[in-house]
Amino acid sequence: MNSTNIAARAESASKIYGSGENEVRALDNVSVSFERGKFSAIMGPSGSGKSTLMHCVAGLDALTSGKVFIGETDLSELSDKEITKLRREKVGFVFQSFNLIPTLNAYENITLPLSLGKKLGDEAWIKQVIDTISLNDRLNHRPSELSGGQQQRVAVARALATQPEIIFADEPTGNLDSKSGSDILKFMRRAVTDLKQTIVMVTHDAVSASYADHIVFLADGKIAGEMTQPTPDKVLDYLKHLGE
Amino acid sequence: MFRLSLKMTLARKGRLLLTSLAIILGTSFLAGTSIFSATINSTFDRLFTDIFRDVDAYVRSTNSVDTGFGEVRAPSPVSALEIILKVDGVSAAVGDMQSYARVIGKDGKPLGEDQGPPTFGGIASSSAAGLWIVESGRLPMGAKEMMLDRKTAEAGKFVIGDSVRVNALSGTREFSLVGIANYGDVSSPGGATFALFDQPTASEFLLKPGFVDAFLVQGDGTLSDEELAKAINSALLPSDKLETLTGAEITEETTSQIKKVLGFLTTFLTAFSFIALGIGCFVIYNVFSITAAQRQRESALLRAIGASRRQVTNSLIVEAVVVGLLGSILGFVVGIGLSQALSALLNAIGLEIPTSGLTINMSAIVSTVLIGTIITTLSAILPALRSGRVPPLAAMRETALDVVTRLTRRVIIGLIFLILGVIALVASVNGADVKILGVGVLAVFAGVLVLGPAISRPVAMLLGKPVSKIRGVTGTMSQQNAARNPKRTARTAAPVLIGVALVTSFTALAASIKGEIRESIGSSFRGDYALSVNSRGFGGIPISVTDKIDQLPEVATATGVGFIPAKVGDESPFVLVFNPKTAEGLYDLEMIDGRQSDLGKDEILLEQDKAIEKNLPIGSTVQVTLVDGRTLQLKVAGTYKDAYGNYAVSRELFEGTATPLFDSFIYISTVADVSDKNARKAISAISADLGVGTLESRDEYIDSQAAQVNQFLALIYGLLFLSVVIAIVGIIITLLLSVFERKHEIGLLRAVGMTRSQVRTMVRWESVITSLFGAVTGVVLGIVTGVVIVISLNESGISGFTLPITSTIFILIGSFIIGVLAAVFPAWRATRTNIISSIASN
Ligand SMILES: Nc1ncnc2c1ncn2[C@@H]1O[C@H](COP(=O)(O)OP(=O)(O)O)[C@@H](O)[C@H]1O
Ligand SMILES: [Mg+2]
Region of B753 on the Ramachandran plot (φ > 0 left; ψ -120 to 50 alpha; else beta): left
pLDDT for residue B144 is more than 90? yes
DSSP E strands, B704-746: none
pLDDT attached to residue A135 = 83
A48 CA distance to ligand 1 middle (Å): 8
Given an 8 Å threshold on Cβ–Cβ distance, is A103 in contact with B480?
yes
Question: Is pLDDT of B693 > 70?
Answer: yes
User: Which ligand 1 atom sits nearest the alpha carbon of residue A46?
Assistant: 23
Q: Assess B748–A contact: CB distance below 8 Å, yes or no.
A: yes
CA of A81 to the centre of ligand 1 (A): 26
Residue B633: how many CB atoms within 10 A of its CB? Answer: 10
Task: Assign B555 to helix, strand or coil.
Answer: strand
B342 against A9, higher pLDDT: A9
Contact A97 B841 (CB under 8 A): yes
**Strand, helix or coil for residue B361:** coil
Residues of A with CB under 8 A from a CB of B: 55, 60-61, 80-81, 84-85, 87-89, 92-93, 95-104, 108, 112-113, 115-118, 144, 158, 174-175
Taking an 8 Å cut-off on Cβ atoms, the answer to whether B836 and A116 are in contact is no
Tell me what the mean pLDDT of segment B25-49 comes to. Answer: 84
Q: Write down the pLDDT at residue B817.
A: 92
Mapping DSSP onto H, E and C, the string for B225-291 reads HHHHHHHHHHHCCHHHCEEEEEHHHHHHHHHHHHHHHHHHHHHHHHHHHHHHHHHHHHHHHHHHHHH
Whether the per-residue pLDDT at B55 is higher than 50: the answer is yes
Instruction: Judge whether B201 and B122 are in contact, CB under 8 Å.
Output: no
Name beta bridge partners: B15. none
Give the DSSP per-residue string, B639-701.
EES--SSSEEEEGGGGTTSS---EESEEEEEE-TT--HHHHHHHHHHHHHHHT--EEEEHHHH
Cα(B418)–Cα(B411) distance, integer angstroms: 10
The residue whose C-alpha atom lies closest to atom 21 belonging to ligand 1 is: A51
Ligand 1, atom 5, lies closest to the CA of: A17
Cβ of A112 within 8 Å of Cβ of B835? The answer is: no
| Amino acid at site B481 | N
Least confident of A225-234, B109-118, B195-204: B109-118
Range B228-253 average pLDDT: 86
Distances (CA, A) of A125 to A109, A162, B297, B360: 16, 9, 41, 74
- Give the mutation target among A14, A15, A17 for probing the ligand 1 site: most ligand atoms within 8 A of CB: A17
pLDDT value of residue B318: 87
Ligand 1: atom nearest CA of B837 is 1
Q: In the predicted model, what is the mean pLDDT of residues B360-389?
A: 88
Q: Is the C-beta atom of A17 inside 6 A of ligand 1?
A: yes
Q: Give the rounded percent of residues in chain B with a pLDDT score beyond 70.
A: 89
- Judged by DSSP in three states, B108 sits in coil
| pLDDT mean across residues, chain B | 83
Tens of pLDDT along B282-326? Answer: 888 888 888 887 777 777 777 777 777 888 888 888 888 988 999
CA of B841 to the centre of ligand 2 (A): 9
Contact B756 A97 (CB under 8 A): no
Residue B380, amino acid: A
Q: Do A113 and B841 touch (CB under 8 A)?
A: no
Task: Specify the 3-state DSSP secondary structure of B712.
Answer: helix
Q: pLDDT value at position B710? A: 84
Nearest ligand to the C-alpha atom of residue A45? 1
Nearest bound ligand to CA A55? 1
In terms of Cβ atoms closer than 10 Å to its own Cβ (0-12, 13-18, 19+), residue A22 is: exposed
What CA–CA distance (Å, rounded) separates B772 from B462? 11
Tell me the whole-structure pTM to 2 decimals. 0.78
Predicted confidence at residue B164, as pLDDT, reads 92
Q: Which amino acid is at B411?
A: V
Segment B721-750 shows an average pLDDT of: 87
Give the residue, B92 or B257, on which the prediction is more confident: B92
Q: Is the CB of A64 under 6 A from ligand 1?
A: no
pLDDT at B842: 41
- In B, minimum Cα distance to A119 occurs at B472
Cα separation, B596 vs B591, in Å, equals 7
Pick A95's closest partner by Cβ from B484, B750, B839. B839
Q: Per-residue pLDDT averaged across B106-110, rounded?
A: 79
Burial call B796-827: b when 16+ CB within 10 Å, e when fewer: ebbbebbebeebbeebbebbeebbeebbeebb
| A226/chain B closest Cα distance in angstroms | 26
Q: What residues of chain B lie within 8 A of the CB of A92, using their CB?
A: 752
CA distance B476 to chain A (A): 9
Q: What is the mean pLDDT of residues B141-157?
A: 89
| Ligand 2 centroid to residue B137 C-alpha, Å | 93
Q: Is the ipTM of this complex over 0.90?
A: no
Q: Which atom of ligand 1 is nearest to the CA of A53?
A: 17
Best B461, B473, B743 residue to mutate vs chain A (most A CBs within 10 Å) = B473
Confidence of residue B692 (pLDDT cuts 50, 70, 90): low
Give the pLDDT confidence score for residue B369 in this predicted structure: 93
- Which residue is closest in CA terms to ligand 1's atom 27? A47
Structural domains of chain A, with CATH: 3-242 (3.40.50.300)
Determine whether the interchain pair B750/A108 forms a contact, defined as Cβ–Cβ distance below 8 Å.
no
**CA distance to A50, A89, A234, per residue, from A215 (Å):** 12, 26, 11
Provide φ and ψ at B123, rounded to 5°.
Answer: -105, 130
The dihedral over CA atoms of B606, B611, B616, B619, expressed in degrees to the nearest 10, equals 50
Q: Whose CA is nearest to atom 16 of ligand 1?
A: A49
The verdict on B755 touching A (C-beta cutoff 8 Å) is yes
Q: What is the pLDDT of residue A56?
A: 92
Q: Whose CA is nearest to atom 7 of ligand 1?
A: A17
pLDDT at B802: 76
For residue B751, list chain A residues with Cβ-Cβ distance below 8 A. Answer: 60, 87, 93, 95
Chain segment B746-801, per-residue pLDDT in tens: 988 998 889 999 999 999 999 999 999 999 999 999 988 888 888 777 655 556 77
- Residue B699 confidence (pLDDT): 87
Across the range B174-188, mean pLDDT stands at 79
Does B841 reach chain A within 8 Å, measured CB to CB?
A: yes
CB-CB neighbors (< 8 A) of A93 in chain B = 751-752
Pocket lining: A92 vs ligand 1, CB cutoff 6 Å: no
Give residue B534's pLDDT. 63
Contacts of B836 in chain A (CB under 8 A): 55, 60-61
**CA dist B438 → B427, B788, B802 (Å):** 11, 11, 21
Q: Express each pLDDT in B438-460 by its tens digit.
A: 888 889 988 988 888 888 889 99
Distance CA B247, CA B403 (A): 71
CA B647 to chain centre: 27
- Measure in Å the smallest separation between the Cα of B274 and chain A Cα atoms: 38
Does B50 score more than 80 pLDDT? no
Please tell me which of the candidates A60, A89, A118 has its beta carbon nearest to residue B472: A118
Residue A201: what pLDDT? 95
3-state secondary structure chain A: CCHHHEEEEEEEEEEEECCHHHCEEEEEEEEEEEECCCEEEEECCCCCCHHHHHHHHCCCCCCCEEEEEECCEEHHHCCHHHHHHHHHHHEEEECCCCCCCCCCCHHHHHCHHHHHCCCCCCHHHHHHHHHHHCCHHHCCCCHHHCCHHHHHHHHHHHHHHCCCCEEEEECCCCCCCHHHHHHHHHHHHHHHHCCCCCEEEEECCHHHHCCCCEEEEEECCEEEEEEECCCHHHHHHHHHHHHC
pLDDT value, residue A3: 53
Q: What is the pLDDT of residue A199?
A: 95
Q: What span, in angstroms and rounded, lies between the C-alpha atoms of A122 and B727? A: 46
* Separation of alpha carbons B717 and B707, rounded Å: 15
Among A101, A144, A158, select the one facing B745 at the smallest CB separation: A101
Q: Looking at residue B543, what is its pLDDT?
A: 81
Specify the DSSP class assigned to residue B617.
-
Determine the average pLDDT of the residues in B722-727.
86
What are the tens digits of pLDDT across the range B74-91? 888 888 888 888 888 888
Cβ atoms B279, B495 nearer than 8 A: yes
Residue of chain A with shortest Cα separation from B754? A116
Give mean pLDDT in consecutive 10-residue pieces for chain A, a chain of 244 residues: 77 90 91 94 91 90 92 90 88 85 88 82 87 86 89 92 91 88 91 92 91 93 90 86 66
What is the reported pLDDT for B401?
43
Q: What are phi and psi of B694, to 5 degrees?
A: -120, 125
pLDDT of residue B167: 81
8 Å CB contact of B751 and A93: yes
* A98 CB near ligand 1 (under 6 Å): no
CB half-sphere exposure, B588, CA atoms < 13 A: 13
- Give, as one character, the DSSP assignment of residue B573: P
Do the Cβ atoms of B504 and B783 come closer than 8 Å? Answer: yes
Give the nearest partner residue to B752 out of A96, A102, A112, using CB atoms. Answer: A112
CA distance B13 to chain A (A): 24
In terms of DSSP bridges, do strands B132-137 and B171-183 run parallel, antiparallel, or are they unpaired?
A: antiparallel
Protein residue whose Cα sits closest to atom 4 of ligand 1 = A17
Which residues in A lie closer than 8 A to residue B473 (C-beta atoms)?
104, 108, 112, 115-116
| CA–centroid distance, residue A47 to ligand 1 (Å) | 6
